[in-house]
Amino acid sequence: MIVAGVGSAVIEPGFFSSAPVQVALVVGAIAAVVSGVVGIFTVVRGQSFAGHSLADIGTAGGSAAFLVGVNPLYGFVAMNLVAGGVMELIGIRRPRGRDVATGIVLGAALGFAALFLYFDTTSTSTTGATINVLFGSIFTLPSSIVPVIVVLSVLAIGMTCFLYRPLLLSSLSPDLAAARGVSLRFVGIGFLVSLALAVSLSAVTIGAILSTALLIGPAATALRFTKRTGSAIVAAAAIGVGATWLGILLSYDSYYWTPSHRGWPVSFFVVAVVFVVYLAADLFTGHRVTARRPTMRGAR
Amino acid sequence: MTDAAEGSSTEILSVANLSVSLAGREILRDVSFTCDAGEFIGLIGSNGAGKTTLLRVILGLTAPTSGSVRVAGRERSSRKPLIGYVPQKIGLDPDMPIRARDLVGLGIDGHRFGIPRPTAKRNALIDEMLAAVDATRFADARVGNLSGGEQQRIMIAHALISRPRLLLLDEPLANLDIRSEQEVVSLVARIAAEQNVAVLFAAHGMNPLLPVMDRVAYIARGRVAIGTTAEVVTTESLSRLYGRHVDVVTVHNRILVVAGREDEGLHHVEPVPRAEPT
């Protein structure tokens, strides 16, 4: 009785029976799992900037899709795949060259995003475009999009699993991987495809500009307390799913909160939960991490 | 069997008339030498002398301008499985979620696609290799949290687990304290002898390698002088290599190579040996 009472106080009546909530829970979990799997490698490879840039770049595709009346997901995916390819093509292997390539593509894409969002907001039929593209549309997703999301997530996770070993080896040392006959370019492009898909999926969930939080936050948290790649991936996915579901629940609960009485955005809650969990993990594991022995990098 | 065939059966590495230019700058000029199975060669030279370039050309990562490299008689495309490699400054991130034993395991199949499947045979091979480099104690620790010397042992295990015929090490002693330095050198020498692996060991100074190396390859100004230390590390031979007068002096069984005259100011080409650990 007490448990049920507490439960109904936290989980508002009608939460699980609401169709938009059901779609949101499924899509949110899928996006979080993909972000967790891809996020670990993104952090380990030092490609957080590329991940965040793809999210911003995707807004050009998402807003263009909105303009022509297509679901923004398709725009995100198309734009991110093209941008990832261009970044890899004009980028060189050195991390700095990669950052410059990313920055150049990012700048160009943001220009288009500004243009399309301007058209979106000035055309009467699509007034919610900016909010939808930038901050996500998880409660307004049609259930018909779910199969597409499933296919894209299987592609992203499948690609990451396929590249698993050479990806790890080249993250440890590109020279070491190349000496073993690994094609760094193939692995790099393959991983960018996974990254582009992961970012697109979280862009429709919590929005383009916030998708970095779902990509990097759970992964960075998991890396604080795991020592195996496999367990880091599982932990990142679990943290992401937990944060997303809690965010959806809090957003649903916030319907009667001030000031708008129309509910706070899901993305805010997801990002807030991810951040709090990271801080907690950091505090909890901070002592051990600072007590670690000096490494070669430290001595350099 | 002819003499030539017999010769090639023990000769693991053959570098012939090798020249390499990078970005218009000549790094190596007409370098030739061979290395036999199980032989330990110290590749000695200062920063920028071309040690890394030479190793990269042997690995097939850098294309030579002219000349050839053969490993066990094989050309560039098919020789990768024959070479174990310990790259320079691996700088493993402390956050890298990988245990020492997983990194050694990647030495078996890290170039293959898919997720590794732990089999009893694979695990036994990893355990055996970890024991050989005396790393069982920290096998389950995250590699990024290990000390420099411990990381080098894991990298050596990674390089040797696939049973290569030739082991290339690019300055594995950089940033190590003198005790770890000696441990790494004697470890490489022992395993190389056990597995009959030829070793090309790049280092700044030759003194840590003196007890174990069969020959020294001294590299300067794009050229390589190779032979026993008695042949190569002499005032005449090194002065010719450097193109200026250098003095070779022996102090307490350690070799010092000193360049320059009093009027240009003395400086050491070979780093000053540090005090023996107590």
A134-159 pLDDT per residue, tens: 777 788 888 888 999 999 999 999 99
What is the pLDDT at residue A258? 76
Taking CA atoms, what residue in B is nearest to A159?
B114
Taking CA atoms, what residue in A is nearest to B57?
A179
Range list of H helices, B110-177: 120-132, 148-160
The pLDDT of A27-54, averaged and rounded, is 93
The pLDDT of B151-178, averaged and rounded, is 93
What is the pLDDT at residue A254? 84
Determine the residue type at A34.
Answer: V
What is the pLDDT at residue B273? 41
Question: What is d(CA B64, CA A35) in angstroms, rounded to the nearest whole number?
Answer: 42
- Nearest 5°: CA angle at B181, between B175 and B187? 130
Q: How confident is the model at residue B46 (pLDDT cuts 50, 70, 90)?
A: confident
What is the pLDDT at residue A101? 81
What is the pLDDT at residue A9? 62
Taking CA atoms, what residue in A is nearest to B117?
A165
Q: Residue B250 pLDDT more than 90?
A: no
Write out the two tokens for B226: 């190779």
Buried b / exposed e over B142-173, threshold 16 CB at 10 Å, is bbbbbbbbbbbbbbbbbbbbbebbbbbbbbbb
Q: How confident is the model over A215-245, as pLDDT tens digits?
A: 999 999 999 999 899 999 999 999 999 999 9
Distance of CA A244 to the CA centre of its chain: 11
Q: How confident is the model over B206-223, as pLDDT tens digits?
A: 899 999 999 999 999 899
Nearest CB among A43, A166, A296 relative to B113 is that of: A166
Q: How confident is the model at residue A214 (pLDDT cuts 50, 70, 90)?
A: very high
Q: Residue A6 pLDDT more than 60?
A: no
What is the pLDDT at residue A127? 59
Question: What is d(CA A180, CA A169) in angstroms, rounded to the nearest whole number?
Answer: 9
**CATH numbers and ranges of domains, chain B:** 3-268 (3.40.50.300)
Q: How many CB atoms lie within 10 A of CB A125?
A: 9
Query: Does residue B115 contact residue A165 with C-beta atoms inside 8 Å?
Result: yes
Q: Do B110 and A177 touch (CB under 8 A)?
A: yes
Q: Residue B2 pLDDT more than 50?
A: no
What is the pLDDT at residue A238? 97
What is the pLDDT at residue A211? 87
Least confident of A5-19, A20-34, A161-175: A5-19
Q: How confident is the model at residue A3 (pLDDT cuts 50, 70, 90)?
A: low
Q: Do B89 and A300 touch (CB under 8 A)?
A: yes
Least confident of A252-256, B40-44, B94-98, B205-209: A252-256
Q: Do B98 and A161 touch (CB under 8 A)?
A: no
Q: Looking at CA atoms only, how far is residue B141 from chain A in angstroms?
A: 7
Question: What is d(CA A199, CA A209) in angstroms, rounded to the nearest whole number?
Answer: 10
Q: Which CATH class is domain A2-284?
A: mainly alpha
Question: What is d(CA A85, CA A78) in angstroms, rounded to the nearest whole number?
Answer: 11
The pLDDT of B15-33, averaged and rounded, is 93
Of A285 and A271, more confident: A271
Enumerate the residues of chain A whose CB falls inside 8 A of the CB of residue B103. Answer: 172
What is the pLDDT at residue B276? 40
Nearest CB among B81, B115, B145 relative to A161 is that of: B115
Task: Write out the H or E segment, with its range, that includes residue B267.
Answer: strand B267-268
Enumerate the residues of chain B whose CB falls inside 8 A of the CB of residue A180. Answer: 80, 110-111
Write out the two tokens for B88: 């320079």
Question: What is d(CA B133, CA B110) in angstroms, rounded to the nearest whole number?
Answer: 20
Enumerate the residues of chain A whose CB falls inside 8 A of the CB of residue B102. Answer: 228-229
ipTM of this complex > 0.90? no
Mean pLDDT of all residues in chain A? 84
Query: Does residue B91 contact residue A296 with C-beta atoms inside 8 Å?
Result: yes
The pLDDT of A27-52, averaged and rounded, is 93
What is the pLDDT at residue B224? 93
